[in-house]
């Protein structure tokens, strides 16, 4: 399994370029949230929006990864696979459907592929960013200060380990491709939730609707870090039970190169058994021992009805749960739905009605 250090970014041109991502955090936070949050992204009448070189590099990587037969074009089935984690392909309707040239087999060249993204970014930058997020698995990364959240994200995008501690005061993102197998590659979006951002996140009842998996990181050598992470786990699980937006959860025991507290190890086992989730994944970013953590994150996100923890109250009083279930797209006559029964993932219909 390999991880290719690529990042995404967008810029706006008005005599000079202004970053839409505002240092890669605040606007991105809006974009990964609700439809109302997504609508905040706008550009003035005198502005044009274009993909940066970094974004183009990333899209070229996406193209290469999904070009399974290395014929320099994306076949219809390869495009279908690329957007398999989205509610639907953004290019099946006008103005994108017939905007670029295809060969007689309906295949897209790299230039045509990039042109589609360029057009979508120009006409609807919100849809462009939303579509990039949709073709992957969004994961929220929780944990107390100094737990190792930032180190985990940095390692995901190929940044070297550093002993220096820089506190994260706002949400940040790391994006990369995870090679599950030679022919199975997934796009993973990790969003680090700052310690102070948890309260704001949980104030929104639908905050977990855009989350495919929640990851809880703690310093295994620090008992207080474990307890704080466990409290965060309980908050997220209870929020999911109260709102119906339950998500799979994984615990990551960071800094495994240090001596672990015996009590922490015992409590880890008890919590995983009581809440019916996988045992914590021990990792050491410092030593480069990742224990296939990114592969396991994606694997846990794919069958979301597994790995969903429950509190004792949740087990006793089970409400109707809106479970994020991507597999329904393949079971229900290839109908692209991502939420069980009623709630469509990302609420595409609401977006279309708003634009209409």
| Range 323-328 average pLDDT | 37
Strands (E), 237-298: 245-246, 249-254, 281-282
Band of residue 7 on the pLDDT scale cut at 50, 70, 90? very low
Residues of the chain with pLDDT > 70, as a percent, come to 73
Which of 84 and 193 is assigned the larger pLDDT?
A: 193
Query: How far is Cα 10 from Cα 20, in angstroms, rounded to an integer?
Result: 6
**Does 95 sit behind a cis peptide bond, omega within 30 degrees of 0 on the bond before it?**
yes
Which of 180 and 285 is assigned the larger pLDDT?
A: 285
Query: How far is Cα 284 from Cα 296, in angstroms, rounded to an integer?
Result: 15
Contacts with 338 (C-beta within 8 Å, 6 or more apart), sequence order: 87, 324, 325, 326, 328, 329, 344, 345, 346
Band of residue 106 on the pLDDT scale cut at 50, 70, 90? very high
- What are the tokens at 275? 């809440």
249 within 8 A of 214, measured Cβ to Cβ: yes
Does the pLDDT at position 9 exceed 90?
Answer: no
Contacts with 263 (C-beta within 8 Å, 6 or more apart), sequence order: 223
Does the pLDDT at position 105 exceed 90?
Answer: yes
Q: What is the pLDDT of residues 262-288, one digit of tens each?
A: 788 889 889 988 988 899 999 999 999
220 within 8 A of 256, measured Cβ to Cβ: yes
The reported pLDDT for the residue numbered 247 is 93
126 within 8 A of 200, measured Cβ to Cβ: no
Contacts with 194 (C-beta within 8 Å, 6 or more apart), sequence order: 168, 169, 170, 171
Q: What are phi and psi of 55, to 5 degrees?
A: -65, -40
- Residue 214 β-bridge partners: 140, 249
Q: What are phi and psi of 242, to 5 degrees?
A: -75, -35
Q: What is the pLDDT of residues 22-39, one digit of tens each?
A: 222 222 333 333 333 344
Does the pLDDT at position 182 exceed 60?
Answer: yes
Query: How far is Cα 102 from Cα 191, in angstroms, rounded to an integer?
Result: 35
- Residue 141 β-bridge partners: 192, 215
- What are the tokens at 70? 């290395």
Band of residue 86 on the pLDDT scale cut at 50, 70, 90? confident
220 within 8 A of 255, measured Cβ to Cβ: yes
- Residue 17 β-bridge partners: 13
Closest to 153 (Cα-Cα) out of 262, 61, 25: 25
Determine which of 30-44, 99-113, 178-192, 264-278 has the lowest per-residue pLDDT on average.
30-44
Q: What is the pLDDT of residues 287-315, one digit of tens each?
A: 999 999 999 999 898 876 677 998 877 77
Average pLDDT, the chain: 75
Residues of the chain with pLDDT > 90, as a percent, come to 35
For the chain, helix, strand, coil in percent to 5 are 40, 20, 45
The reported pLDDT for the residue numbered 318 is 58
- C-beta atoms surrounding 99 within 10 Å: 14
Query: How far is Cα 204 from Cα 310, in angstroms, rounded to an integer?
Result: 20
Which of 149 and 69 is assigned the larger pLDDT?
A: 149
Give the strand pairing for 322-323 and 245-246: parallel
């Amino acid at each position: 399994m390999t991880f290719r250090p690529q990042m995404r970014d967008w810029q706006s041109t008005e005599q000079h370029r202004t970053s839409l991502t505002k240092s890669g955090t605040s606007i991105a936070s809006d974009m990964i949230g609700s439809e109302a949050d997504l609508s905040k992204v706008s550009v003035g009448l005198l502005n044009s929006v274009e993909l940066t070189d970094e974004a183009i590099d990333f899209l070229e990587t996406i193209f290469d990864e999904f070009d399974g037969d290395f014929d320099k074009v994306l076949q219809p089935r390869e495009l279908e696979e690329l957007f398999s984690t989205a509610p639907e392909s953004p290019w099946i309707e006008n103005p994108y459907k017939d905007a670029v040239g295809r060969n007689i087999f309906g295949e897209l060249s790299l230039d045509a592929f990039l042109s589609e993204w360029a057009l979508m970014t120009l006409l609807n930058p919100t849809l462009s960013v939303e579509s990039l997020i949709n073709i992957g698995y969004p994961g929220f990364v929780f944990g107390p200060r100094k737990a190792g959240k930032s180190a985990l994200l940095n390692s995901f995008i190929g940044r070297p380990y550093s002993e220096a501690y820089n506190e994260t005061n706002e949400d940040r993102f790391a994006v990369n491709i995870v090679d599950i197998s030679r022919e199975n590659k997934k796009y993973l979006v990790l969003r680090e939730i700052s310690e102070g951002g948890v309260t704001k996140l949980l104030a929104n009842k639908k905050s977990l609707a855009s989350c495919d998996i929640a990851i809880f990181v703690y310093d295994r050598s620090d008992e207080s870090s474990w307890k704080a992470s466990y409290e965060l786990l309980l908050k997220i699980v209870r929020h999911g039970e109260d709102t119906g937006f339950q998500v799979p959860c994984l615990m990551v025991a960071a800094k495994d190169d240090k001596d672990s507290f015996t009590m922490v190890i015992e409590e880890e086992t008890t919590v995983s058994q009581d809440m019916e989730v996988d045992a914590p994944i021990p990792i050491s970013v410092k030593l480069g021992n990742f224990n296939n953590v990114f592969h396991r994150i994606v694997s846990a996100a794919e069958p979301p009805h597994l790995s969903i923890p429950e509190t004792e109250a949740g087990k006793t009083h089970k409400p109707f749960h809106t479970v994020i279930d991507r597999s329904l797209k393949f079971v229900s006559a290839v109908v692209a739905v991502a939420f069980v029964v009623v709630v469509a993932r990302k609420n595409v219909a609401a977006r279309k009605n708003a634009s209409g």
